[in-house]
A and B are shown apart, each in its own frame.
Chain A
Amino acid sequence: MSATTEAAQAAAPSTPAAPEAIVQTRSLSKTYRDFWGRQKVRALKPLDLEVHRGEIFGLLGPNGSGKTTTIKLLLGLLFPTTGKALVFGKDSSDVSKNERIGYLPEESYLYRFLNAEETLDFYGRLFDMPAEVRKRRTQELIDMVGLNWAKRRQLKEYSKGMTRRIGLAQALINDPELIVLDEPTTGLDPIGTREMKDLIIKLRDEGKTVLMCSHLLADVQDVCDRIAILYQGELKELGRVDSLLKVDEVTEVRARGLSEEAKSEIREVIQRHQGELLSLDNPSTTLEELFLRIVRESEERPGARPQ
Chain B
Amino acid sequence: MVVETEIIPFFEWLQLAVPFFLTVAVAVAVFALAASYLICAVRYGPLAGGDVVYRVVTTSIKEILQISPRRVFALAWLAIQESVRRRVLVVFAVFLAILLFAGWFLDNSSHDAGKLYLSFVLTATTYLVLLLALFLSVFSIPNDVKSRTIYTIVTKPVRPGEIVLGRVIGFSLVGTVVLLVMGISSYIFVFRSVNHTHEVVLLDDPELVEELPEGERFRTTTEQEHRHVIFEDADGNLATDFRNSHWHPISAEDSPEGTTYSVSPPEGTFTARVPIYGKLSFLDRAGRPASKGVNTGSEWMYRSFIEGGSAAAAIWRFPGITRERFPPEEFPDGIPFEMTLRVFRTYKGDVERGIPGSYVIRNPDKPDIQSSEQIFVAREFYTDRKFIPFELEDEKGNKLDLFEDLVSDGKLELAVKCLDPAQYFGMAQADVYLKADDAPFAMNFVKGYLSIWTQMVLVTGFGVMFSTFLNGAVAMIATLAAIIMGFFTKFVTDVATETVSGGGPIEALIRLLTQKNLVSPLEDTLGNRVAQLLDEGVMFVMVRMGYILPNFRQFDSSDYVANGYNIPWDLALQNLVATFGYLAAVFVAGFFFMKTREVAK
Contact = CB atoms under 8 A, between A and B. Distances in A.
Contact of A95 (B63, B77, B598, B600): B63
B153 to A, nearest CB: 7
A127 B153 CA distance: 10
A96 B152 contact: no
A170 B152 contact: yes
A128 interface: yes
Interface in A75-103: 75-79, 93-96, 98-99, 101, 103
A125 B152 contact: no
A77 B599 contact: yes
Contact of B149 (A72, A111, A127): A111
Interface string B164-200: 0000000000000000000000000000000000000
A126 interface: yes
A231 interface: no
A128 B85 contact: no
A158 interface: no
| Interface SS of B by simple majority | helix
Given A78-B600, A113-B81, A122 B151 contact: no
A122 B600 CA distance: 22
A114 B68 CA distance: 22
B288 interface: no
Contacts of B63: 95
Contacts of A127: 156-157
A126 B71 contact: yes
B154 interface: yes
A95 B158 contact: yes
Nearest to A37: B43
A125 B71 contact: yes
A127 B155 CA distance: 11
A264 B149 CA distance: 62
A109 B145 CA distance: 10
Interface in A55-85: 72, 75-79
Contacts of B158: 95, 98, 126
Select the residue from A93, A118, A125, A174 with max chain B CB neighbours within 10 A. Answer: A125
A79 B152 contact: no
B152 to A, nearest CB: 6
Nearest to B73: A125
Interface in B49-78: 59, 63, 68, 70-71, 73-75, 77-78
A122 B149 contact: no
A105 B152 contact: yes
B36 to A, nearest CB: 14
Interface in B563-601: 598-600
B248 interface: no
A113 B74 contact: no
B600 A125 contact: no
A94 B154 CA distance: 11
A93 B59 CA distance: 10
Contacts of A101: 155
B45 to A, nearest CB: 12
A98 B149 contact: no
Contact of A109 (B75, B152, B156, B598): B152
Contacts of A123: 152, 156
B598 A114 contact: no
A50 B299 CA distance: 75
A34 B75 CA distance: 31
20 contacts: A76-B155, A77-B598, A77-B599, A95-B63, A98-B156, A99-B157, A103-B152, A105-B148, A109-B147, A109-B148, A111-B78, A111-B149, A113-B81, A122-B78, A125-B74, A126-B74, A126-B75, A126-B153, A126-B156, A128-B71
Given A118-B81, A122-B74, 10 more contacts: A77-B155, A77-B600, A96-B157, A98-B158, A109-B152, A113-B82, A126-B153, A126-B156, A126-B158, A170-B152
Interface of A: 72, 75-79, 93-96, 98-99, 101, 103, 105, 107-111, 113-114, 118, 122-123, 125-128, 170, 174
